[in-house]
Amino acid sequence: SSSSRDDTLRDKRARILSRGLPKQKPIEGVKQVVVLASGKGGVGKSTTAVNVALALAANDSTKEVGLLDADIYGPSIPKMMNLKGNPELTPENLMRPLKNYGIACMSMGFLIEETAPVVWRGLMVMSAVEKLLRQVDWGQLDYLVIDMPPGTGDVQLSVSQNIPIAGAVIISTPQDVALLDACKGAEMFRKVHVPVLGLIQNMSVFQCPKCNHETHIFGADGVRDLAKTLGLDILGDIPLHVNIRETCDSGQPVVISQPQSDA
């Protein structure tokens, strides 16, 4: 019958498509992996990833949390987590993460000079990502938060296809241009069968420190509208606040340095 022929064709197509995909293999010692991503750069993804990792640890002191900076070209986790130096090697030739505020961190920024640009082609980048995923001794982690680079390219696909991911969080400002890319990011994770846990609206409103007047610099509720369209939850709504920026730039993220503040 035509329906059985259609089923046979679908099975054949699925087999052909899956042939070239890598087999997913968990990271040794890591229970859950959560990726924080954005379609567009400059929306506060790394700042949010750092504070989410710190918040997970602060929320439950029995949990061990790690933070992996998968942005090869623009690693910012070392500065935000106030970490410098090169990782030590274990007898098994695995890199030991650097640790601060109780969070184990690994980044390309630990392996190159702070001001040195990474001028690499795709294959070298993929090799570096593979090393950051497979050649790090994380010990025993309950959560590994991965700060993804912006976009929907090789790194995102490689991470999604190589390791089992518990869920992805998409970060965006309410600006229309950022929302277009955030939508692409959410759809990419759906295509590679990674659950999207929800969206975070960042830089949602600016409050004047002198008169307390609120201004929606990047627009209002754009991410909320996108969440409704995609059938996703809003996980957080973060204001554009000078303290959030200053604390991360100084290597003392707001969750750790000002835990009682509104931010």
pLDDT tens digit sequence for 172-231:
999 988 999 999 999 999 988 999 999 999 998 888 888 888 898 888 889 989 999 999
* DSSP-derived secondary structure for 159-198: HHHHS--SEEEEEE-S-HHHHHHHHHHHHHHHHTT--EEE
Amino acid 20: pLDDT: 57
Residue 17 corresponds to which amino acid?
A: L
How far apart CA 79 and CA 252 sit, in angstroms, is 9
251 is a domain residue:
yes
8 is a domain residue:
no
Average pLDDT score over the chain = 89
110 is a domain residue:
yes
CATH number, residue 243 = 3.40.50.300
Strand partners, 98: 105
195 is a domain residue:
yes
13 is a domain residue:
no
- Share of residues in the chain with pLDDT > 70 (%): 95
Strand partners, 69: 107, 147
Amino acid 27: pLDDT: 93
Tell me the angle at which helices 154-162 and 122-134 cross, rounded to the nearest 10 degrees: 30
What confidence category does residue 18 fall into, taking pLDDT thresholds of 50, 70 and 90? low
Amino acid 2: pLDDT: 67
How far apart CA 54 and CA 35 sit, in angstroms, is 15
- The model's pTM is 0.86
- Please check whether residue 45 is in contact with residue 185, taking contact to mean a CB–CB distance below 8 angstroms: no
220 is a domain residue:
yes
Average pLDDT over residues 49-75: 94
263 is a domain residue:
no
Amino acid 122: pLDDT: 74
Owning domain of residue 246: 27-257
Between residues 121 and 62, which one has the greater pLDDT?
62
pLDDT digits (tens, 9 = 90+) for 133-187: 899 999 999 999 999 988 877 888 889 888 999 999 999 999 988 999 999 999 9
Considering its fold, how many domains does the chain have in total? 1
pLDDT surpasses 90 at 1: no
Between residues 230 and 13, which one has the greater pLDDT?
230
